[in-house]
Structure 1
Amino acid sequence: MTSSREDYLKAIARLQQNAERVNNRHIADDLGVSAASVSEIIRKMEKEGLVKSVEKRSIRLTRKGEEAAVRLVRIHRLWEVFLVDHLGYAWEDVHEEAEKLEHAASPQLMEKLDRFLGYPEMCPHGRKIPGRRNQEPREGPLSRLSDLPAGIPAVVRRVPESKELLELLASCGIRLHEKVALLEEGAHCGAFLVEAREGRRFELPAAAADAILVEISA
């Protein structure tokens, strides 16, 4: 399968998580390509049994397409773990590198890498690595950081893969599994006042606080 097909598979899978219907325009916007290019690739993917047309000119991944997309996500997140834990990459730099590596990895290599890493359950950004049997969540319900009541401590569990946001969080010393709390309820002038360990205080833009998922600490 070409790297272009793989990018389309991941894009459609990502879009399906957030919308009932996915069409060519959605895919074009997500990948930054022309609608004509999308139409051509989708026709080929239909012939290959990776996608199917559904009502109102929408498309869905077939079972074959879903399995291929899950495999790609698994490969991508394993590479991210390797880059952070063993090559010293910062979490804001691994997404683009993993995008390149995921297209050139055989199943045998990925099984060996998975074993070498100790079968990790999460990527450096707090997302589950798919493909584990009986993979039940070990964390409690997650909330947006922006929805926390003031003064209630919570643990950072998941962050988006936005390079800009990850750089901001790193500059504030925020990492996964770190405790944080809002000092005031609600945003003021477009930002939340946050306290982290050792009493560090900083302002976090509302969009960033909306994107960070936390688990309320006992």
Structure 2
Amino acid sequence: MTDDPRPLFGRAAEQAAELIASVRAEQLDGPTPCTEFDVRTLLSHLTGATHRVAVVAEGGDAVAVRPFAEGVPDDGWTAAYDEARTRAVKAWAGDDLLDAVVRLPFGEMPGRAALSAYVLETVTHTWDLSEALGHPRELDPELAEFALTVARRMLPDEQRDENTPFATARPVPEGADVYGRLAAWLGREPLSRA
């Protein structure tokens, strides 16, 4: 686990941005491994959650921020996400935030743990989007390794319940890469297997 998740958050957000920029209009209604989201809803969640992580760093009330972006036109997701990620990276620039206690919808924790949780969320939903789009580009394995470490620490399988935003862990498919292991830990299946 890194002492400073900010560079990883920046890389995860950049990776997500590159993938979001590749989404075509005809893909927006397609399914994702995050079964309650189609591609459009997933883009809304990625954008809204990234605004939320900025609000956390800015000292605002993250609980009051909906984790979905509203009013974004179908051709506006690239710009909307870029605005959110730029705001979030800038908001987390101060070193003091890493040890400051921040409030998230699921509790209070040091900033470094909170931002690590958002690296996990961003990396996971980027994998969801990659699956939905048919793997248009290779994803960064170091980001998935970090996210899997965070997931195992923050989301032990035996403590998940109906309020946990991730399903029960699934068996890891044979030959799975680190993204496949992360997806299995979070109860997801690749679309080709679902």
- Normalized against structure 1, the TM-score is what? 0.29
Using CA pairs under 8 Å that are at least 6 residues apart, name the structure with larger relative contact order, 1 or 2: 2
Name the structure where helix makes up a greater proportion of residues.
2
Who wins on radius of gyration, i.e. which is larger? 1
